[in-house]
Amino acid sequence: MSAVPAALKVNHRPVDLEGVPADERLLDTLRWRLELRGTKEGCRSGGCGACTVLVDGRPTLSCLTLTRELDGREVTTIEGAPDHPAGRAVLEAFESEGAVQCGYCTPGFVMALTGFLGRTPRGHRSTERLLRELQGNLCRCTGYAAIARAVDRAGREAP
Amino acid sequence: MSGAGRADAPVKLRGAAVYGTDLSAEGMYWGALVPSPIAHGRIRSIDLAPARALPGVVAIGADEVAGLLPKGAAAETPIFPKEEVVYRGQPVAAVAAPTRALAREAARKVRVDLEPLEIWGSIDTLLPEWPGADPPRIGALNAHVHARHGDLEGAFRSADFVLAETYRTSGVHQVPIEPHACLARVDGELWTVETSTQTPFGCREDLASILGIPEPQLVVRGSWVGGAFGSKGSALLEPYALLLAKASGRPVKLQLSYPEEFRLGRSTLPSVIRIESAVRDRRVVGRRVRLVLDTGASLPGRDFTLGYSAGFLLGPYSIPAVEVEGYALRTHKPPFGPHRAPFVPQCTFAVESHTDHLAHRLGIDPVEFRRASVWTEGATTGLGQTVGPFGLDAALARAAEIVREWRATGPPGHGIGVAGGFWSTGTGAGGEARLRLTPTELEIEQGEREIGSGSVIRGIAVGVEQRLGLDAGAVRVAYLDTATAPFDSGVFGSRTVGALGQAAEKAADALRTELGRRCGVSGAAAEQIRLRPSPEGLVVDLGDRRRAVRELLTPEELARGGLRVEGRHYGRSGTIDERRVLEGSFHPFNDFVGAAHVAEVAVDPEIGSVEVVRYAAIHDAGRVVDPTTARAGIEGGVAMGIGTALLEETQWGADGRLENPSLLDYRLPTLAEVPPIQVEFIEGYPGAGPRGAKGLGEPPIVPVPAAIANAIFDALGVPVGELPMTSERVARALKRL
């Protein structure tokens, strides 16, 4: 970790982090400093998965990540998902399978699944495995049924 | 086709939906509540000075409230306690500050000095003799209900046998993934709050009574709602946020942390249930039930749950002699609140487990045993209500087929259980909707927010679309604030489609009549009127000719955004036979909605862990309005029920402390705990909703804990008798064998 972070990129755009306190969480940086409130605040302690974003393509809980540790990294949020190759397929699968109810857990699920699909080549994406990877994301509305259908579809359709 | 037509999905998938937690405003301050550190105590002093010493901090307590409210405002209940705190975490003061961190720090700085008083932490300590013959000690009684009918003594005296059982249930929390959050501002006379609520008008009514401000000076604007499940049905944070906004002269954001959500959100609390059944000639001839419900720091007379849920404890069966008695006890926990089908999954767990145990004792197939006495249309309930069209028997018959199929295909050792359940749609609470027709679109102007189930965004639109011959998704739902929307009672009680949907359909009928008048047709010809899209905008299709909507609107209507037509629907509540009521107030059922669920479980006999491997839910839905939405709601309700059955429990210490206020210690079902759910509908038993629709928001959770309990009983031959059926409790039950 560098003492004075120069910059990180959020959805491909450089963000100057000068003046960000050392204890600021990525979740708060995104939501209140960058006004990207598509990333949802749930439990703030890593239990619900609603705040999941990608850091260098890897699903990451933004509530447990300190912004100043991300010098030089690339962050992708739900607002950037349409520009991510796997992200677009995931968004389409969630919409067409009716996997969105209240929608509060949705950005976290979308980013977690996008991250896994982006790093897992076709042929290694059994639905069972993908579902196991999503056990850290909680949903209270859907009973996960439509989400599982969307996961299955996205696994087949994402590049 | 699945999921198409939910206009909220693209907005939510873009991350563009603004929930309560996302609300913000220029110059906004953050609020924080100061919690009571103990569950019961007399207030010696509350010193706000240390908080006020921090830069920019505004702090308010009981002494400041009157000065902040308009002159003459008459608040019904104190917002902050003046003399006594009655639960741990009860807000005793509130602060606002320019940043969230500073607000939290300021809240911690407030010095709260209390003299500890005796704590009623658990209903067990209040009920040393329960479940003995005597009624519980009633030193802290919030409500008492008692009803009886028939020759109960005779039934028990002449019984072949009596089965008497005690059940216990734990507190469960709604845990919406979005915690409570709102943004308040005061501009002159106008007190406005944007909030994540399932009842904007109910919230306004609460605020009027809590703050004593007349309703016309209060505006409630709903945000997107990140899950509610009953928890966002009355004002909670809004009064504090408004007072802080007044005190600071700023917009104030107030949002609960998860630990606060667990402590302050109004959740279900523990209970003890006793059921005794007298059996003669293989039938239940008499039943006596008693319910003791912990209602926390709820105020006397405020609890709806007891008089409603107690009626469910007799089960959906014809029994000649019955007695039901319920006690709502006050303890030093947060006030009890409604959780999806308030307390009825717990009542159903008790009575439907008991029903299986009776069948087992008699050596009768449990589904056949139920079908011999289950209500059908025309039956009379224990409280003397006549049952309307009711599809539970048909659902049970289908459940029996599924059981046979699963027995033939499932591995040996798995348990299979069935439970029936019923629900009553809404409370007769009514509502109004307004259609706005422009030359290019049709919109429903209304006052609710979509809370996730689809009951607003699809449920009330489908009927309008069908009435006017429009494609699914053609009618837009507009969300207005309480100052501009027509009144509606709220999204609760599985009433939205039945009441607001019916109001919207009536508005569609009125629109057709009005368009017919303008086209010179009436009667049957007007009823044939359809709206059609065209490249030039909407046209009125009269069968033999078409007229553009644009030509039919007056210049005034065009200038004011279109032709507006209102519809209203105020349903009637059911009636019970008051001669059977000895004390208190029981709430009648309205529509009778039935469901039969089938669960297959694998139980590990060593450690007692239970896995639900297959699940089927068969629902009497009257008429299915929107199959995709209906199915999704049932899948979600079953998953939530699995949580109530196996995992979820708020653990309260004897000192009134909630010991597990986090997702690490309060376990919700994950993808791993929820099996595939087979959903089926029984139609042909129409309800009071539009063209026979019945409410479907709450019924899916009702039979779940019971179905899983019966599957465990089938696997092990021993009842667990307590919710949730954790591996520890299952293992303990096995030791009793």
Q: Is residue B262 part of a domain?
A: no
Mean pLDDT of A118-131: 92
Contacts of A140 (CB under 8 A, 6+ apart): A102, A105, B174, B175, B176, B177, B227, B229, B636, B640, B668
CB contact under 8 A, A97 and B3: yes
CA distance B257 to B35: 13
Residue % of chain B over a pLDDT of 70: 97
CA distances from B270 to B90, B125, B173, B649, B724 (A): 19, 13, 11, 9, 11
Question: How many separate domains does chain A show?
Answer: 2
CB neighbours of B61 closer than 8 A, spacing ≥ 6?
B46, B48, B80, B92, B93, B94
Work out the pLDDT band at B106, boundaries 50, 70, 90.
Answer: very high
Kindly provide the b/e burial profile for residues B613-642, where b requires at least 16 CB atoms within 10 angstroms of the residue's own CB.
bbbbbbbbbbbbbbebbbbbbbbbbbbbbb
Pair (B107, B130) in one structural domain: no
Q: What is the mean pLDDT of chain B?
A: 94
Output the pLDDT for position B75: 73
- Both B549 and B457 in a single domain? yes
**Residue B286 β-bridge partners:** B278, B321
Domain count, chain B: 3
At position B579, the amino acid (one-letter code) is: R
Q: Write out the DSSP string of B83-114.
A: SEE-STT-EEEEEEESSHHHHHHHHHHSEEEE
Cα separation, B255 vs A36, whole angstroms? 18
CB distance B553 to B439 below 8 Å: yes
Q: B676-685 pLDDT, tens per residue?
A: 999 999 999 9
Q: Which of B437, B530, B580, B577 is nearest to B149 (CA)?
A: B580
Determine the distance from the C-alpha atom of residue B684 to the mean position of all C-alpha atoms in its chain, rounded to a whole number: 26
> Do the strands B431-437 and B442-446 form a parallel or antiparallel pair, or are they unpaired?
antiparallel
Q: CB of B258 within 8 Å of any CB in chain A?
A: yes
ipTM of the complex: 0.96
Determine, for residues B663 and A47 on separate chains, whether the beta-carbon distance falls below 8 Å: yes
Choose among B451, B628, B676: nearest Cβ to A102.
Answer: B451
Indicate if the pLDDT at residue A6 is higher than 50: yes
CATH code of the domain in which A59 resides: 3.10.20.30
pLDDT tens across B244-257, in order? 999 999 999 999 99
Whether the predicted pLDDT of B193 surpasses 90: yes
- The confidence score (pLDDT) of residue B691 equals 85
**What would the pLDDT profile of B711-731 be if each residue is shown by its tens digit?**
999 999 999 999 999 999 999
Domain presence at residue A1: no
A25-37 tens-digit pLDDT: 999 999 999 999 9
Alpha-carbon distance B448 to nearest alpha carbon in chain A (angstroms)? 14
Predicted pLDDT at A1: 44
What SS3 state is found at B208?
helix
Measured distance CA(B29)–CA(B250) in Å, rounded: 6
* Contact yes or no for B13 and A77 at CB 8 A: no
Mean pLDDT of B160-180: 97
* Alpha carbons B701 and B87: distance in angstroms, whole number: 29
In a domain, B693, yes or no: yes
> What letter does residue B347 receive in the DSSP assignment?
H
Provide, as residue numbers in chain A, all residues whose Cβ is less than 8 Å from the Cβ of B628.
98
Same domain, yes or no: B529 and B600: no
Residue B3 inside a domain? The answer is no
B16, B176, B662: residue with CB nearest A140: B176
Evaluate whether residue B326 is within a structural domain. Answer: yes
- CA–CA distance from B574 to each of A19, B374, B378, B588 (Å)? 63, 20, 14, 5
Banded pLDDT at A141 (limits 50, 70, 90): very high
B608 assigned to some structural domain: yes
**Confidence band of B3 (pLDDT split at 50, 70, 90):** very low
Q: Is the separation of the CB atoms in B587 and B308 below 8 Å?
A: yes
CA distance B97 to A158: 46
Q: Is the pLDDT of residue A4 over 70?
A: no
Same domain, B479 and B520: yes
Task: Quote the tokens at residue B338.
Answer: 């409604």
- Examine the domain organization and report whether B501 and B545 are in the same domain: yes
- Could you say which of B225, B255, B285 is where a domain stops? B255
CA torsion sign for B236, B237, B238, B240 is positive
* pLDDT value, residue B139: 64
Element holding A85 (H helix, E strand)? helix A85-96
In-domain check, residue A158: no
Residue A67 lies in a domain: yes
Which chain A residues are within 8 Å of B672, Cβ to Cβ?
Answer: 132, 135
* CB neighbour burial string for B400-420, b if at least 16 within 10 angstroms, e if fewer: bebbeebeeebeeebbbbbbb
Instruction: Give the burial class of B54: count Cβ atoms within 10 A of its Cβ; 0-12 exposed, 13-18 middle, 19 or more buried.
Output: middle
Contact A100 B22 (CB under 8 A): no
- Residue of B363, B366, B364, B389 lying closest to B376 (CA atoms): B389
10 Å Cβ neighbour count for B725? Answer: 25
| B729 and B653 in a common domain | yes
When comparing pLDDT for A19 and B2, which is higher?
A: A19
| Residue A29 domain-assigned (yes or no) | yes
| A99 part of contact set with chain B, CB < 8 Å | yes
Over residues A130-134, the mean pLDDT reads 93
Whole-angstrom distance, CA of residue A26 vs CA of residue A44? 11
Residue A137 maps to a domain: yes
Residues of A in contact with B22 (CB under 8 A): 31, 37
The DSSP bridge partners found for residue B721 are: none
Cβ distance B337 to B269 under 8 Å?
no
The whole-angstrom distance between B177's CA and the closest CA on chain A is 6
Mark whether B471 and B363 lie in a shared domain. Answer: no
Segment 656-715 of chain B within 8 Å of chain A by CB: 662-664, 668, 670-672, 674, 676-677
- The per-residue pLDDT for range B526-543, each reduced to its tens digit, is 999 999 999 999 999 999
Residue B2 lies in a domain: no
Task: Work out the burial of residue B275: count CB atoms within 10 Å of its CB; fewer than 13 is exposed, 13-18 middle, 19 or more buried.
Answer: buried
Instruction: Please give the pLDDT value at position B78.
Output: 86
Is residue B260 domain-resident? Answer: no
Residues of chain B with pLDDT > 90, as a percent, come to 85
Nearest to residue B693, comparing CAs of B629, B638, B598? B629
The residue count for chain B = 737
Q: Report which DSSP code applies to A83.
A: G
B479, two tokens? 């969300």
Chain B positions in Cβ-Cβ contact with residue A94 (cut-off 8 Å): 9, 13
- Both A92 and A40 in a single domain? no
Q: How would residue B302 be classed by pLDDT, with cut points 50, 70 and 90?
A: low
Show residues of chain B in contact with A40, CB under 8 Å.
19, 21, 177-178, 226
B12 in contact with chain A, both atoms CB, cutoff 8 A: yes
Q: Does B268 score more than 50 pLDDT?
A: yes
Residues B281 and B394 placed together within one structural domain of the fold: yes
Amino acid at B230: G
Contact B671 A148 (CB under 8 A): yes
Same domain flag for B435 and B422: no
Tell me the mean pLDDT in the region B220-227. Answer: 98
Q: What angle do CA B532, B534, B540 make, to 5 degrees?
A: 35
Residue B162 contacts A where some CB pair is shorter than 8 Å: no
Query: Min CA distance, A81 vs chain B (Å)?
Result: 8
Per-residue model confidence (pLDDT) at position B132: 67
Residues of B in contact with A98 (CB under 8 A): 2-4, 6, 9, 628, 632
Concatenating the DSSP letter of every residue in A48-82 gives S-TTEEEETTEEEEGGG-BGGGGTT-EEE-GGGGG
Edge-to-edge strand ranges of the sheet holding B530-534: B530-534, B537-541, B546-548
Name which of A79, A144, A149 is nearest B639 (Cβ-Cβ). Answer: A144
CATH number assigned to the domain comprising residue A138: 1.10.150.120
Predicted structure pTM score? 0.96
Domain ranges, residue A21: 7-77
Report the pLDDT value the prediction gives residue B520, as an integer from 0 to 100. 95
Q: Token match 């653990």: residue? A: B651
Residue A131 lies in a domain: yes
Kindly state whether residue B261 falls inside one of the protein's structural domains: no
What type of residue is A129? R
Q: Which of B569, B592, B608 is the last residue in one of the domains?
A: B569
Tokens of B110: 């407030």
From B200, B235, B255, give the residue that closes a domain: B255
Domain of B90 in residue numbering reads as: 8-118+180-255
Verify that B618 and B644 share a domain, yes or no: yes
Q: Does A107 sit within 8 Å of B15, measured CB to CB?
A: yes
Q: Are A47 and A88 in the same domain?
A: no
CA-to-CA separations, B650 to B171, B335, B720, B733, in angstroms, rounded: 5, 14, 19, 21
Distance of CA B94 to the CA centre of its chain: 29
| 3-class secondary-structure state, position B507 | helix
pLDDT, tens digit, 9 for 90 and up, residues B309-354 = 888 999 999 999 999 999 998 999 999 999 999 999 999 999 999 9
Is pLDDT above 80 for B77? no
B659-669, pLDDT tens digit by residue? 999 999 999 99
Query: Could you say which of B6, B257, B639 has the minimum Cβ distance to residue A98?
Result: B6
Of A99, A132, A138, which is closest to B177 when you measure between CB atoms? A138
Q: Which helix (H) or strand (E) holds A119?
A: helix A106-119
